[in-house]
């Protein structure tokens, strides 16, 4: 049997097999995939503006809720200033995780999960990700699968470490 790369949505509604009606998590993923699909045709300027709006919101949140970013981010960060913001050194993340941690997350972002590198090349690095960040990452993986026309019914091996809190 020949399968196309297009996803067959599993229905969360008993008796409805096709078209599939996803549950709440699937609805969010499909919405994200749709938006990403649409945005790939935007002009560079429109895409930059959307990305920059989101980055400004993230920086404002970090400045308000993270001791580290409250001290290190300049008051107004524009594209020019952004290029001068240094990459966060691994050692700082390992040495001072509490100063980086945002004291509050919007309730809509869900809970926090600790994720960790394996430490194969250095001491393991542990960071927190919100449920929403995990969902966004899941959408990016799904987008990659679709772009590369992989068989979505096949198995996918992911080597990753998740630390249970």
CA 112/CA 114 separation, integer angstroms: 7
Q: Are 52 and 85 in contact (CB under 8 A)?
A: no
pLDDT number for residue 109: 96
Token pair in block for residue 159 = 């080597």
**pLDDT recorded at residue 47:** 97
pTM of the model: 0.79
pLDDT of residue 5: 46
First to last CA, the chain: 43
Q: How confident is the model at residue 153 (pLDDT cuts 50, 70, 90)?
A: confident
Q: Read off the pLDDT band of 7 (50, 70, 90).
A: low
Q: What are phi and psi of 134, to 5 degrees?
A: -65, -40
**CA distance linking residue 154 with residue 22, whole number of Å:** 20
pLDDT, tens digit, 9 for 90 and up, residues 28-76: 999 999 999 999 999 999 999 999 999 999 999 999 999 999 999 878 8
Per-residue confidence band for 10, with pLDDT thresholds at 50, 70 and 90: confident
Specify the pLDDT at position 152.
77
pLDDT at position 17 is 86
3-state class of 139 per DSSP?
helix
Structure tokens at 110: 């869900």
Question: CA distances (Å), 163 to each of 24, 65, 90, 129, in order?
Answer: 25, 24, 18, 11
Tens of pLDDT, residues 94-133:
999 999 999 999 999 999 999 888 877 778 888 999 999 9
pLDDT of 3 strictly over 60: no
Residue 165: pLDDT band by 50, 70, 90 thresholds? low
How far apart are the C-alpha atoms of 11 and 22, rounded to whole Å?
5
Domain borders along the chain are 105-165
């Amino acid at each position: 049997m020949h399968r196309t790369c297009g996803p067959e949505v599993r229905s969360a509604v008993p008796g409805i097999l096709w078209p599939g009606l996803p549950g709440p998590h699937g609805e969010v993923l499909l919405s994200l995939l749709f938006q990403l699909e649409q945005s790939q045709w935007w002009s560079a300027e429109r895409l930059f503006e959307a990305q920059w709006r989101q980055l400004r919101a993230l920086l404002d949140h970090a400045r308000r809720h993270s001791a580290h970013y409250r001290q290190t981010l300049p008051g107004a960060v524009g594209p020019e200033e952004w290029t001068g913001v240094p990459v966060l050194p691994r050692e700082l993340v390992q040495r001072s995780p509490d100063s980086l941690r945002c004291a509050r997350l919007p309730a809509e972002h869900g809970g926090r999960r600790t994720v960790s590198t394996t430490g194969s090349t250095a001491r393991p690095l542990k960071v927190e990700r919100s449920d929403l960040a995990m969902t966004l990452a899941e959408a990016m993986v799904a987008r990659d699968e679709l772009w590369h026309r992989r068989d979505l019914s096949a198995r996918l091996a992911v080597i990753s470490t998740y630390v249970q809190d």
